Structure 1
């Protein structure tokens, strides 16, 4: 996930500023099953501080031990971690441990790519041959620019694990009432880029919303100015029928991953009737894409519980999954 890579890149830069070495630990292969899959990464500081995780916690302790030689020599290493007996998982992880040093130029380039919402590719080249193992390493680049690493250092003698990361997932929350604060907080903890949309006359401040990247004040007719794309979820929760209508009439021109509207079923029916009356040519595909009442039916009552149900629905829609109990799924697969 791009937010995990973002944490790793920024953390490595901060460590360099303090003259602390860091190593990047990447799962590049898996034989069997595991808690997390190839492509998961973590950063380890020389003082044992960890950013991210590659398992539920057990593998990390071993990584601290294995990374000591990398800190000391400055050379990469590739190891296999057999979790069949230690973790109860039937999997053997292939893990690349490499020195990772992010400088100011690389950090700036990385942030530019994030802001431009470009796809980022990571290629990890590794070899278990003694003569090449210490030269294993990773490259990070966008569609147009190299961000980290030197491609010419690797050749066909190396194995390659490649991963493509989509732009940072966004959540636009239209509305600045009390329940929006809970949704913002939980969505930020999920790793999403959360932005609050308020009216020009609104009195809320971004500091009122824990985890929010920004609070944008806009006239209801200026929604077209927002950078909304297929990696964006939208939740309209203004508690105002008029505002919801104005927002929805403009949002139908946008591409998005998810659109939810807070409110009762009868309310969304009236909103749709009004949208059709104002714009008879409105796309029925857009109307069908609206989730309202938004959220999964898990018996939510409090703003916090409702926020969890909304986030769960967003994830299920974006991943193309029909919500179900994992225990029920396991029973059917037994």
Structure 2
């Protein structure tokens, strides 16, 4: 996921400034089932620090052990983990372990991609067979330019290629600054989402009040910049003010977020929509039908923290086109 790459890039860069070597382990192929799918990464550093996981815990120790060779010899290698004969994962996991070095130019391009919320992709070259090979390695395409994780890397057509496309960082716009916004903001940040809290200009709270928030803004309804709200954005109206929710709804009428939710019961949602139509009878049917209200999935949530879980679960189900059911009732594999 994009936010995981962002975190790893920051950690690698910081380690480099301290003279600490890093090795990146990437799941490049899978036969059968596993806790995570190809594309998940784990970072092993020469100072003993480990960042990220590639399974539920059954693979990491072996990856860490084999990464010591790569740290010492500076040569990429492939390893496999066959979970069919162990308790835990029930598939064969193919993992590329490679030295990683990020140049200043590459770090700058990563920052641009993350700040602009642009899409990018990576390619990893490997073989199914275990062993070392100086031709193994990964590269990223950032803003149309190719960047490799080691200086002398050239692509070999004799190797398999795992390609991964990364979407822009997902973001959540929270309209309102009450106690439940605090809980939802923190929970969304834990998912790696970029969170913007939009509060009234007379709001006494500040950015410090919202753990994990990226931006805290207090525009008027007329000066609200909606240009950054795109199809990788979720929107939640939760001001606890009927009039404010109506005005924000009108201000957002021409946006096309991936998810648009309103906090509160059905009757309140209908009143908000009716009042909005009174002000603007030209509101599109498509926009109104995309609104989720009451926001969330029925899990019996009561506290602000539980309501946050309910709302985030619905957002995830919508953006991933899933129908929420208990996994024991789901047909096929978990990740199908």
- Give how far 1:228 is off: 0.7
Give the 3-state SS of the residue equivalent to 2:224 in structure 1.
Answer: helix
Aligned length: 333
Please give the alpha-carbon distance, in whole angstroms, between the structure 2 residues aligned to 1:28 and 1:125: 9
Q: Which position in structure 2 is the counterpart of 1:190?
A: 191
- Give how far 1:331 is off: 10
Would you say the 8 A contact 1:22–1:43 is kept in 2? yes
Give the 3-state SS of the residue equivalent to 1:162 in structure 2.
Answer: strand
Please give the alpha-carbon distance, in whole angstroms, between the structure 2 residues aligned to 1:131 and 1:290: 53
In structure 2, the gaps of 5 or more residues are: none
Give the 3-state SS of the residue equivalent to 2:96 in structure 1.
Answer: strand
Residues 29, 102 of structure 1: CA spacing in aligned structure 2 closer, same or farther, 3 A cutoff?
same
Q: Which position in structure 1 is the counterpart of 2:273?
A: 272
Q: Deviations over 1:56-92 (max 9, x none)?
A: 1121100111001100110100111111122443311
Q: Deviations over 1:190-245 (max 9, x none)?
A: 11111111122222111111111110111112223451110000111001111111
Would you say the 8 A contact 2:135–2:153 is kept in 1? no
Residues 281, 139 of structure 1: CA spacing in aligned structure 2 closer, same or farther, 3 A cutoff?
same
Identify, as 1 or 2, the structure richer in helix: 1
Please give the alpha-carbon distance, in whole angstroms, between the structure 2 residues aligned to 1:224 and 1:274: 23
Q: Which position in structure 2 is the counterpart of 1:201?
A: 202
- Give how far 1:329 is off: 2.1
Task: Answer yes or no: is 1:53 the counterpart of 2:53.
Answer: yes
TM-score (norm 2): 0.94
With 235-244 and 97-106 compared, the bigger mean Cα shift is at 97-106
Please give the alpha-carbon distance, in whole angstroms, between the structure 2 residues aligned to 1:275 and 1:311: 26
Please give the alpha-carbon distance, in whole angstroms, between the structure 1 residues aligned to 2:101 and 2:39: 19
Q: Deviations over 1:163-188 (max 9, x none)?
A: 00100000010011111000001111
Would you say the 8 A contact 2:3–2:193 is kept in 1? yes
Would you say the 8 A contact 1:78–1:95 is kept in 2? yes
Q: Which position in structure 1 is the counterpart of 2:167?
A: 166
Q: Which position in structure 1 is the counterpart of 2:107?
A: 107
Q: Which position in structure 2 is the counterpart of 1:232?
A: 233
Would you say the 8 A contact 2:198–2:217 is kept in 1? yes
Residues 27, 82 of structure 1: CA spacing in aligned structure 2 closer, same or farther, 3 A cutoff?
same
Please give the alpha-carbon distance, in whole angstroms, between the structure 2 residues aligned to 1:201 and 1:102: 44
Would you say the 8 A contact 2:58–2:89 is kept in 1? no
When the two chains are superposed, the root-mean-square deviation of aligned CA atoms in Å is 2.0
Q: Deviations over 1:139-178 (max 9, x none)?
A: 1113423344469701211210000010000001001111
